[in-house]
Amino acid sequence: MPRKIIIDTDPGQDDAVAILLALASPEDITLLGITAVAGNVPLELTALNARKVCEVAERPDIKVFAGCDRPLAHSLVTAEHVHGKTGLDGPDLPAPKMPLQDAHAVDFIIETLRSEAPGTVTLCALGPLTNIATAFRKAPDIAERVQEIVLMGGAYFEVGNITPAAEFNIYVDPEAADIVFKSGTPITVMPLDVTHKALVTGPRNDAFRALGSHAGRTVAAWTEFFERFDKEKYGSPGAPLHDPTVIAYLIDPKLFQGRHVNVEIETVSELTRGMTVADWWGVTDRPANAMFMGDLDADGFFDLLTERIGRL
């Protein structure tokens, strides 16, 4: 049985590849809808970009909802320095023809979790956790109906990418992350410790382009765009493809290894705001609340991704 999911996202080239991976995998995943959130770029652009991506996959039937346009407690921090002015710089894509749904993303999340059987809907969070936290605040009954939250965010050994201590998604809305990590819902985390091993090297980028399809060329152009930034910043051989790890985990969890540990979110300290304090070594008595991943089979991940994108 395919897993029913909602993708909550701020596209973002790596979000875009994650959406394509989900749409290319109907035997594993049923995509109930996409909820856009402000993050890499403002909401207006993430809601637009999500629809552009659906049209790359020739899936204008997918429902896309716009959600929260700012974090719960602070002003929005964006990442045009990584993703470009549109958030999806790289290939030239036409303006989407498919509509944005009228309902608010938060209401869609609430209504879907109430109408589907308990424990059958997974939330895949690829951006700041504002939409999901807002849904949990507005409708506390839904948290226990979620099968699992699989999210890209945080870091432990890799520490931070937007501040010395914090990863971007958690840093943008730590108050939202705090609500989610305290919700009691089963959580699986793909931190920088994992995603910094999912590097799009030259040969991996070539493999996307060699698919010869519109989707393959588009993925290659996206990853080529944002790898300039990472190569310069980290001196790494390619850009980390953060968000597709979330979808790959649903398809083949054996690609990942981690520990079930306690994770707390720093919301107060000016210096380390947005840090995911993961008790990796079990030095506290705080109860485990998340499966915190630490390693992935990078070749297996890219083999899966290339094979699936090749279907589109």
Instruction: Decide if residue 33 touches Ca ion (CB under 5 A).
Output: no
Of the candidate spans 83-91, 124-132, 209-217, 270-278, the one that interacts with Ca ion by CB under 5 A turns out to be 124-132
Q: Which of 5, 7, 8, 12 binds Ca ion (CB under 5 A)?
A: 12
Closest separation between CB of residue 37 and Ca ion, Å? Answer: 9
Closest separation between CB of residue 144 and Ca ion, Å? Answer: 26
- Kindly report whether the peptide bond that precedes residue 12 is cis, defined as omega within 30 degrees of 0: yes
Do residues 3 and 114 touch, judged by C-beta distance below 8 A?
no
Count other Cβ atoms within 10 Å, centred on residue 102: 7
- Kindly state the tokens that stand for 125: 């969070």
Q: Which of 15, 148, 227, 266 binds Ca ion (CB under 5 A)?
A: 15
* Residues facing residue 4 across a β-bridge: 30, 121
Of the candidate spans 46-54, 59-67, 121-129, 131-139, the one that interacts with Ca ion by CB under 5 A turns out to be 121-129
How far apart are the C-alpha atoms of 155 and 68, rounded to whole Å?
Answer: 24
- Kindly state the tokens that stand for 128: 């700041």
Instruction: Decide if residue 127 touches Ca ion (CB under 5 A).
Output: yes
Please identify, using beta-carbon distances, which residue of 7 and 309 lies nearer to Ca ion. 7
Instruction: Decide if residue 154 touches Ca ion (CB under 5 A).
Output: no
Instruction: Decide if residue 153 touches Ca ion (CB under 5 A).
Output: no
Q: x-or-dash pattern for Ca ion, window 49-88, by CB under 5 A?
A: ----------------------------------------
Of the candidate spans 4-12, 57-65, 94-102, 104-112, the one that interacts with Ca ion by CB under 5 A turns out to be 4-12
Please identify, using beta-carbon distances, which residue of 126 and 304 lies nearer to Ca ion. 126
Site residues for Ca ion, window 222-281 (CB under 5 A)? 243
DSSP-based three-state secondary structure for 265: strand
Residue 242 designated active-site: yes
How far apart are the C-alpha atoms of 117 and 120, rounded to whole Å?
Answer: 6
Count other Cβ atoms within 10 Å, centred on residue 139: 17
> Which one, of 238, 235, 236, lies nearest residue 220 by Cα?
238
Instruction: Decide if residue 126 touches Ca ion (CB under 5 A).
Output: yes
How far apart are the C-alpha atoms of 108 and 34, rounded to whole Å?
Answer: 9
Catalytically annotated residue among 74, 83, 242, 260: 242
CB within 8 Å of 204: residues ≥ 6 apart: 238, 302, 306
Binding site for Ca ion (CB under 5 A): 10, 12, 15, 126-127, 243
What are the residue numbers of the active site?
A: 242
